Chain A
Amino acid sequence: MIQEKDKNQIANLFKSLENEVKIITFTQEFECQFCRINRELLEEVKALSEKISIETYDFVKDADFAKKYNIDKIPATIITGDNNYGIRYFGVPGGYEFTSLIEDIIDISKRKTLLSQNVLKNLSNVDQPVHIQVLTSPTCPYCAIAVRTAHRFAMENNNIVADMIDLIEFPNLAVKYNVQSYPLIVINEKHFIHGAPSETDFLNEILKAIGKKRL
């Protein structure tokens, strides 16, 4: 699925991985089209570094485990390190989101993100649970920017869980949230951002959604 030249480049990048990264993925016995693609893609990524491990669960048979991780749809993927940071993908991390996946793996292995000190400082004001859903299309370049920022926020703050959701695979959510443009960011089911904001604006919107003072 990944071309040889890309594999070589990723393997090269993965030489800088510092700590273990565990990919937890959910599929089912009779795999849906995208479940199979997702599993195969992740297995190819895993094969590019000894630092990466993968655990595959059955959404039906391992229902308790799925419940523990609040997985309500598949294919689902969680990228973890020594902690579960709340970095999740629903749908295949294909298109532009593949780069997001690789970047998440690198960040988690280093246990740090490139968020600026000022953003990090203000991110600590998020002191209550925040669920970010970034609704994406694989052909949307801005979606990957929004996903990366959301995932970085999740990694740096334990109160935040951030999902990439590919609406090509979950069109029911496009109807539910009346999606007319990509990306659409949903915060705690009630606050919406159209487009990919800068880190500062994104954080301001989160703070606004939880009734905190903006930067």
Chain B
Amino acid sequence: MEFPGIFFNTSLLAELKTPDQHKIYDMLILGGGPAAMSAAIYAARKMLDIAIITIDFGGQVKETSEVENYLGFQNINANELISRFEEHVKAFNLPVNTGVAIKEIVKEENIFKVLMEDGSSFSGKSIILATGEHHKTLSVPGERELTGKGVSYCSICDAPLYVNKKVIIVGGGNSAFTTGLDLSRGNTEIIIVNLAKGWQADEILIQRLRNYRKVQLLDLHELISVNGKDKVESVTLRNLETNEEKTIQVDGIFIEAGYLPNSDPVKNLVNLNDKGEVIIDCICRTNVPGFFAAGDVTSIPYKQIIISAGEGAKAALSAYDYLNRFLENKNYDTGKR
């Protein structure tokens, strides 16, 4: 057993100012992933009076081991990439509220109020919602009961528990395959199951995992149930071509079957699509003037770090225009038709 070393993120340690609950900020940026952080940098450079409201920094990137498709980095440890993002944001010494979840966002007159779970609240003339997504559950029997008892949604957290064991991964995209690669380091026997035909992950990841001798890929298979009393003992699958069901003994199951947007706090405020994503136009405007959104929480397709970062920048510039033109001249095209 070796000492894992130190994952040191200096930017985490930067002393943060906390936002003032009695003040009305030009802009409140909600979220802590790439879209939010990029928006914060662009807004800060416009010298806007802004505050960031987030549980923590990193977003879904912190569940990744390595990133190989962010411009400028052939391969970078995800923790280091987040650290660089954070360091960049925190250099502007912005007030940040962390640790508390957002309950609801309401608009009163032209001011948005962000109501927090702990009873506190923050006010802003404009909002950029960049709260990202959370793991989708499959709602199959046994999943909820055995979450944390063998049902996992975070491979870099839990992969060490499955060294030399056998697991099943549900999903066919990049997340499923990077989970497989995380687990392969522990000599874990892996079965990947996909509801759809074929695999949606990047070919480079598929090939890399195919080279691992203890992996089995099963497309067109549906997870029917997760079985076990106090921990996962087996899963039941259905072959969608033959309709045949079979039960496989496993020690754990990793569910990487997509994500759901963290849009609940705004469901009564802005228009959402049937997936629950915030509907935005090409400059990140929602149907509510002054309310912008960016990144994975929105209707923009292709959830990627680099796309989120770009969308965050666009949202900040768009919100800046709104603040300049709408609030000053009352002559802003809200995009509402």
- Residues in B whose Cβ lies below 8 Å from that of A10: 10, 13
Which of A96-126 touch B at CB < 8 Å?
96, 98-99, 102-103, 106, 114-119, 122
Asked whether any CB of chain A lies closer than 8 Å to the CB of B91, the reply is: no
B6 close to A215 (CB less than 8 A): no
- Residues in B whose Cβ lies below 8 Å from that of A145: 56
A178 close to B13 (CB less than 8 A): no
- Residues in B whose Cβ lies below 8 Å from that of A66: none
B99 close to A194 (CB less than 8 A): no
Which of B130-163 touch A at CB < 8 Å?
147-152, 154, 156-161
Which among B5, B16, B58, B120 is the interface contact of A117 at CB below 8 angstroms? B120
- Residues in A whose Cβ lies below 8 Å from that of B3: 33-34, 37, 92, 94
B6 close to A198 (CB less than 8 A): no
Quick one: CB contact mask for B100-118 with A, threshold 8 Å, 1 for yes?
A: 1100000000000000111
- Residues in A whose Cβ lies below 8 Å from that of B58: 141
Shortest beta-carbon distance, A74 to chain B, in Å? 15
Shortest beta-carbon distance, A48 to chain B, in Å? 12
Of all chain B residues, the one with the shortest Cβ separation from A199 is B99
Shortest beta-carbon distance, A177 to chain B, in Å? 11
Asked whether any CB of chain B lies closer than 8 Å to the CB of A57, the reply is: no
A103 close to B12 (CB less than 8 A): yes
A6 close to B148 (CB less than 8 A): no
Give Cα A1–Cα B4 distance, bound, in whole angstroms. Answer: 11
B161 close to A181 (CB less than 8 A): yes
- Residues in B whose Cβ lies below 8 Å from that of A174: 161
B13 close to A99 (CB less than 8 A): yes
Give Cα A1–Cα B9 distance, bound, in whole angstroms. Answer: 15
Give Cα A206–Cα B245 distance, bound, in whole angstroms. Answer: 43
Asked whether any CB of chain A lies closer than 8 Å to the CB of B94, the reply is: no
Asked whether any CB of chain A lies closer than 8 Å to the CB of B203, the reply is: no
A99 close to B9 (CB less than 8 A): yes
B99 close to A149 (CB less than 8 A): yes
State which of A22-30, A78-86, A132-140, A156-164 sits at the interface with chain B.
A132-140
Give Cα A106–Cα B12 distance, bound, in whole angstroms. Answer: 12
Give Cα A158–Cα B231 distance, bound, in whole angstroms. Answer: 35
Kindly count the residue-residue contacts between A and B in the assembled complex, taking CB atoms under 8 Å apart: 146
Give Cα A114–Cα B63 distance, bound, in whole angstroms. Answer: 25
Known: A94-B3, A95-B4, A141-B62. A182 touches B157 (CB 8 A): yes
- Residues in A whose Cβ lies below 8 Å from that of B73: none
Quick one: CB contact mask for B1-42 with A, threshold 8 Å, 1 for yes?
A: 101111111101101101000000000000000000000000
- Residues in A whose Cβ lies below 8 Å from that of B116: 116, 118
Asked whether any CB of chain A lies closer than 8 Å to the CB of B261, the reply is: no
Interface size on B, residues (CB 8 A): 47
Among B5, B7, B58, B79: residue with most chain A CB under 10 A: B7
Known: A33-B1, A114-B18, A198-B117. A137 touches B13 (CB 8 A): no
Which of B236-253 touch A at CB < 8 Å?
252
Which among B118, B119, B160, B252 is the interface contact of A139 at CB below 8 angstroms? B160
A140 close to B99 (CB less than 8 A): no
Shortest beta-carbon distance, A27 to chain B, in Å? 15
Shortest beta-carbon distance, A32 to chain B, in Å? 11
Of all chain B residues, the one with the shortest Cβ separation from A179 is B161
A6 close to B6 (CB less than 8 A): yes
Shortest beta-carbon distance, A110 to chain B, in Å? 9
Of all chain B residues, the one with the shortest Cβ separation from A195 is B148
A178 close to B157 (CB less than 8 A): no
- Residues in A whose Cβ lies below 8 Å from that of B154: 140, 142, 181-182
Shortest beta-carbon distance, A167 to chain B, in Å? 9
- Residues in A whose Cβ lies below 8 Å from that of B100: 116, 119, 198-200
Shortest beta-carbon distance, A23 to chain B, in Å? 16
B5 close to A200 (CB less than 8 A): no
Of all chain A residues, the one with the shortest Cβ separation from B159 is A139
Known: A98-B7, A145-B56. A198 touches B101 (CB 8 A): yes
Of all chain B residues, the one with the shortest Cβ separation from A148 is B99
Which among A106, A116, A141, A201 is the interface contact of B157 at CB below 8 angstroms? A141
User: Can you list 29 A-B contacts (CB < 8 A)?
Assistant: A6-B8, A10-B13, A16-B15, A33-B1, A37-B3, A94-B3, A94-B6, A95-B5, A95-B6, A96-B7, A98-B8, A118-B116, A118-B119, A139-B7, A139-B157, A141-B62, A141-B156, A168-B4, A178-B149, A180-B231, A181-B149, A181-B161, A194-B147, A194-B148, A195-B148, A198-B100, A199-B100, A200-B118, A215-B119
Q: What 6 A-B pairs come out closest when comparing CB atoms?
A: A194-B148, A118-B118, A140-B157, A199-B99, A138-B4, A98-B6
